[in-house]
Structure 1
Amino acid sequence: MTVSGLRYAVADRMLLDGVDLQVRAGESAAVVGPSGSGKSTLLGCVLGLIRPAQGRVDVAGQDVVRMRQRALERHRSRYMGVVFQFGELLPELTPVENVALAALLGGTPSARAYERAEGLLRDLGVPCDGAPTDRLSGGERQRTAVARALVNEPALLLADEPTGALDRATRDSVSELLFDVPRRWGCALVVVTHDAEVADRADRCLELTGAALVRRRAGDRS
């Protein structure tokens, strides 16, 4: 993924002013910054949900900023996965069904979708006993969300405050899993977080401040 010269403002407030970011396959980057600094706006631009005034967002060889809606939706489904703070899973479905649904919507044949869903969940330590997702622990739900994001073998995995709703022990477990994803599955990973300890696990940590993205040294929490 390569972000180049991204500019976006709301009313008279500049949130992104010439932002650049490159994360290669197998690498991870964390983006930190105070609430309202534009972190979620940056993710929205990468996903093609927000159209910036200027700039490019290249994912898997295509500039999502200039794609038409239908082509963008196909590209997003095929090449991008997202993990949200609260998982955004369907509680009445089993973990396997939640994960397989994402694959089915991406055009994967049913048998293959369920086979891949079960394999990912087992790899990530989530029980596949047929119980509905709402019976899982918080950590198991986030692991299910990671499996759902990976099921279509994306080039880019985005995580928006993925540990924000978890207790400390579960946060550490999910963080360890998440930052191991680029090595295990060969995708690029971008994590937006308020948690400095989570951010320090990334290969690079950047801070969004004053509408600019600047490098932050690991362990620097000033």
Structure 2
Amino acid sequence: MRDRPLAVRGLGYEIAGRTLLKDIDMQVEAGQSVAVVGPSGSGKSTLLGCILGLVKPSAGVVEVVGADVVRMRQRALERHRSAHMGVIFQFGELLPELSPVENVALAALLAGEGAHQAYEKAERILDELGVPLNGVSTGHLSGGERQRTAVARALVNEPKLLLADEPTGALDAATRDSVCDLLFDLPERWGCGLVVVTHDATVADRAERGLELRGTTLASRGAEAGS
């Protein structure tokens, strides 16, 4: 049986008297990719925020690598997130004035890695992902190269769980497909779990499992419905 980097049980979230999420159950195994789809405002980003520990749910358990992030104190949560979770955002959230190597190494440095090891790991991962290492600033990279840099940054601390929030939303179709090839290859290559939140059915179809936020609940999508 595969390890389980993520287990969500009975998750609920309410804001301003409105129930956004209710009785959400979700598991992700090591080496598995899961896509969560739903229209804008359905709660996809809120769900991701609960998994990251950035949003406090009203009810439920969110276990990341066996520890419930809902009940962690802030400092312990930050350490746990840095050690076990990697995040990829729609627009990369990179520092454009830094080089790709500096952007990726910074994540390792903030996690306590020594400078030599941090830069060595950054260069190795970027090279593996096909990002140029010629000293150009990240702001001058193509959209696909920037997103590959964002993936490298998410991987540098060797997380057990990768979370991607609309990772291809700012890319053209050809670049989207290239980034998807990379993204959905990661669980098997790195032995991690991957959760991709997206409104793009083409992206979601690449995942091993597909889930959909319907109203306040999470259900299997497409052919998996009712199974």
Q: TM-score, with normalisation over the residues of structure 1? A: 0.97
- Helix, strand or coil: the match of 2:131? coil
Partner of 1:182: 187
Q: Which residue of 2 aligns with 1:68?
A: 73
Look up the SS of the partner of 1:16 in the other structure. strand
User: Secondary structure, in 3 states, of the residue corresponding to 1:146?
Assistant: helix
Matched, 1:203 2:208: yes
The one of 108, 115, 123 aligned to 2:113: 108
SS at match of 1:104: helix
Question: Which runs of structure 2 are paired with 1:119-158 in the superposition (5 Å)?
Answer: 119-158=124-163
Please state how far the C-alpha of 1:13 moved relative to its aligned partner.
Answer: 1.6
Match of 1:57 in 2: 62
| Structure 1: distance between partners of 2:30 and 2:202 | 23
The answer to whether 1:79 aligns with 2:81 is no
**1:83-105 deviation per Cα after TM superposition (whole angstroms, max 9, x unaligned):** 00000000000000000000000
Q: For 1:129, what is the secondary structure of its paired residue?
A: coil
| CA drift at 1:61 | 1.4
Matching of residues 7-22 of structure 1 within 5 Å: 7-22=12-27
CA drift of 1:156 comes to 0.4
Per-residue deviation, 1:218: 5.8
Name the counterpart of 1:29.
34
Give the secondary structure class of the aligned counterpart of 2:54: coil
Per-residue CA deviation, residues 115-171 of structure 1 (Å, 9 max, x unaligned), is 110010011000011110011000000000000000000010000000000000000
Structure 1 vs Structure 2: percent identity of aligned residues?
71
Shift of 1:209: 1.0
Cα distance in 2 for residues equivalent to 1:128 and 1:154: 23
Query: Which one of 41, 49, 67 corresponds to residue 46 of structure 2?
Result: 41
- For residues 154-173 of structure 1, the aligned pairs below 5 Å read 154-173=159-178
Paired residue type of 1:34: P
Spell out, residue by residue over 1:38-79, the C-alpha distance to the aligned partner (whole angstroms, 9 max, x if none). Answer: 000000000000111110110111100000000000100110
The one-letter code of the counterpart of 2:134 is D
After the TM superposition, which segments of 4 or more aligned residues of structure 1 sit over 2 Å from their partners?
217-220
The alpha-carbon deviation at position 197 of structure 1 amounts to 0.4
Residues 200 and 219, structure 1, Cα contact 8 Å, conserved in 2: no
Matches of 1:28 and 1:20 in 2, distance apart? Answer: 16
Q: Contact 1:90–1:98 at 8 Å: present in 2 too?
A: yes
Q: Structure 1, residues 160-189: CA drift from partner, whole Å, max 9, x if none?
A: 000000000000000110011101111100
CA root-mean-square deviation? 1.1
* Matching residue of 1:99: 104
TM-score between both structures, scaled by the size of structure 2: 0.95
What SS class does the counterpart of residue 185 from structure 2 fall into? helix
SS at 1:126 equivalent: coil
